[in-house]
């Protein structure tokens, strides 16, 4: 067995996974962690990664790289998503990380992000050949993935990122009723345009991954300390999402940060995330979804293991 590492460089969160390979399709986790650096903060409308979030992200990536090396990882796969691929200075950031941290970053498009995310979800939830609609709500975009087994039937990548939506629509603290209504109208209009692109949803189970979904599951479970084992596979109902959205939207940010299960660094963007989830469930006709703590990060690692297996 050999140690490998995966780093998911998202618009809001950086996530590290170091694991021992059990085979091309499984692993034993040695270390995992995440840190909110909000790399995509202030990205719009200039489409430029800003200096402060770049420095924050660089510091965390340096620490992640050092951790991976301390475990003697034979290979580290580091993948960038929405913020870096949309930024006009994204290549500069990739070069900076390579020069100062020694990590070779790979910038992936929405289709590849969907493939890797599905790989992680299916592995974590042991879904087998079940047909699913996966929703991945990120800081810079939201992806919908319709698949049966490893076969992806449709992928839709939208610009409904929770960092973008928060910065553009939720200005007041707490947000006004009009701000919330406008946000949901924008999300609803985008979701409505998906009709016809995601066929046969009545046969597909809804699953969700990434920070918004896992955070809402943690709130639903009243977890004072996050427990991935309890979150993994949790059934989150639409009525509860709506209940949390209404309750959290009425609280100023300083009080929202004290809600059990709600990570402090996510307290400002959870409203946009919950709105995207609630509207998506309503427009697609789902009353519940199954939560996956595993997602893109785990998919990156599994993809790396498969490639290593083919080279062996």
Distances from the Cα of 298 to the Cαs of 93, 149, 286, 306, in angstroms? 23, 17, 26, 12
Residues 135 and 100 placed together within one structural domain of the fold = no
Q: Identify whether residues 197 and 249 lie together within a single domain.
A: yes
State whether 154 and 272 are in the same domain. yes
Residue 312 counted as domain residue: no
* DSSP string over 72-126: T-SEEEEEE-HHHHH-TTHHHHHHHHHHHT---EEE--HHHHHHHHHHHHHHHHT
Asked if residue 306 belongs to a domain, the reply is no
pLDDT at 187: 95
Over the stretch 91-115, which tens digit does the pLDDT of each residue have? 999 999 999 999 999 999 888 988 8
Residue with tokens 């340096």: 62
Question: Which phi and psi angles does 64 have, rounded to 5°?
Answer: -60, -45
Answer whether residue 305 is part of any domain: no
Task: Give residue 200's pLDDT.
Answer: 82
pLDDT band, residue 310 (cuts 50/70/90)? low
Q: Within a domain: residue 303?
A: no
Pairwise CA distance, residues 164 & 43, whole Å: 8
The Cα 264–Cα 238 span in angstroms is: 23
- Choosing from 62, 80, 110, the residue where a domain stops is 110
Verify that 97 and 138 share a domain, yes or no: no
pLDDT digits (tens, 9 = 90+) for 252-305: 999 999 999 898 889 999 999 999 999 999 999 999 999 999 999 999 999 999
The answer to whether residue 121 is domain-embedded is: no
The last residue of a domain, from among 79, 110, 141 = 110
Are residues 131 and 19 located together in one domain of the fold? no
Task: Give residue 190's domain range.
Answer: 126-292
Q: Which residue has the tokens 């918004």?
A: 212
Let me know whether 212 and 243 are in one domain: yes
Instruction: Tell whether 301 is covered by a domain.
Output: no
φ/ψ of 107, rounded to 5, equals: -95, 120
Query: CA-CA distance, 201 to 81, in Å (whole number)?
Result: 26
Residue 308 lies in a domain: no
Query: How is residue 140 written in tokens?
Result: 């810079």
CATH of the domain at 92: 3.30.420.40
Look at the chain and report how many structural domains it folds into.
2
Instruction: Report whether pLDDT(88) > 60.
Output: yes
Give yes or no: residues 16 and 68 share one domain: yes
- Burial (Cβ within 10 Å: 0-12, 13-18, ≥19) of residue 203: exposed
**Do residue 103 and residue 42 come from a single domain?**
yes
Which residue is listed with tokens 């993809």? 303
Compute the Cα dihedral for 6, 9, 10, 15 and give only its sign. Answer: positive
Within this chain, do residues 189 and 285 fall inside the same structural domain, yes or no?
yes
**Average pLDDT for 173-189:** 95
Cβ atoms of residues 140 and 83 within 8 Å: yes
Whole-angstrom distance, CA of residue 220 vs CA of residue 234: 9
Residue 254, domain CATH:
3.30.420.150
**93 lies in the same domain as 165:** no
What CA dihedral angle connects 103, 107, 112 and 117, to 10 degrees?
60
* Percent above pLDDT 70 for the chain: 98
Residues 138, 81 share a domain:
no
Is 80 exceeded by the pLDDT of residue 309? no
pTM, two decimals, is 0.89
Residue ending a domain, choose from 110, 141, 160: 110
| 81, 49: one domain | yes
Q: Could you give the CA distance from residue 260 to residue 194 in angstroms, rounded to a whole number?
A: 34
């Amino acid at each position: 067995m050999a140690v490998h590492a995966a780093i998911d460089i998202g618009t809001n969160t950086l996530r590290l996974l170091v694991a021992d390979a059990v085979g091309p399709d499984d692993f034993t986790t040695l270390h995992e962690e995440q840190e909110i650096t909000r790399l995509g903060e202030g990205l719009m409308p200039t489409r430029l990664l800003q200096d402060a979030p770049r420095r924050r992200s660089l510091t965390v990536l340096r620490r992640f790289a050092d951790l991976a090396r301390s475990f003697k990882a034979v290979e580290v796969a580091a993948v960038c998503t929405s913020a870096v691929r949309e930024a006009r200075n994204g290549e500069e950031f990739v070069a900076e990380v390579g020069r100062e941290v020694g990590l070779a970053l790979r910038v992936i498009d929405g289709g590849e992000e969907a493939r890797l995310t599905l790989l992680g979800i299916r592995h974590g939830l042991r879904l087998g050949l079940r047909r699913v609609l996966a929703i991945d709500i990120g800081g810079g975009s939201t992806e919908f993935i319709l698949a049966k087994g490893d076969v992806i039937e449709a992928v839709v990548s939208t610009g409904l990122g929770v960092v973008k939506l928060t910065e553009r629509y939720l200005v007041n603290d707490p947000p006004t009723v009009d701000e919330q209504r406008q946000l949901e109208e924008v999300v609803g209009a985008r979701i409505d345009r998906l009709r016809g692109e995601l066929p046969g949803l009545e046969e597909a189970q809804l699953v969700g991954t990434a920070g918004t979904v896992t955070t809402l599951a943690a709130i639903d479970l009243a977890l004072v300390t996050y427990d991935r084992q309890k979150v993994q596979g949790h059934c989150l109902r639409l009525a509860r999402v709506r209940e949390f959205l209404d309750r959290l939207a009425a609280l100023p940010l300083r009080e929202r940060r004290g809600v059990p299960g709600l990570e402090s660094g996510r307290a400002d963007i959870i409203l946009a995330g919950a709105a995207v989830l609630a509207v998506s469930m309503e427009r697609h006709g789902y009353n519940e979804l199954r939560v996956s703590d595993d997602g893109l990060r785990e998919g990156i690692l599994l993809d790396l293991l498969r490639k290593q297996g083919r080279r062996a």
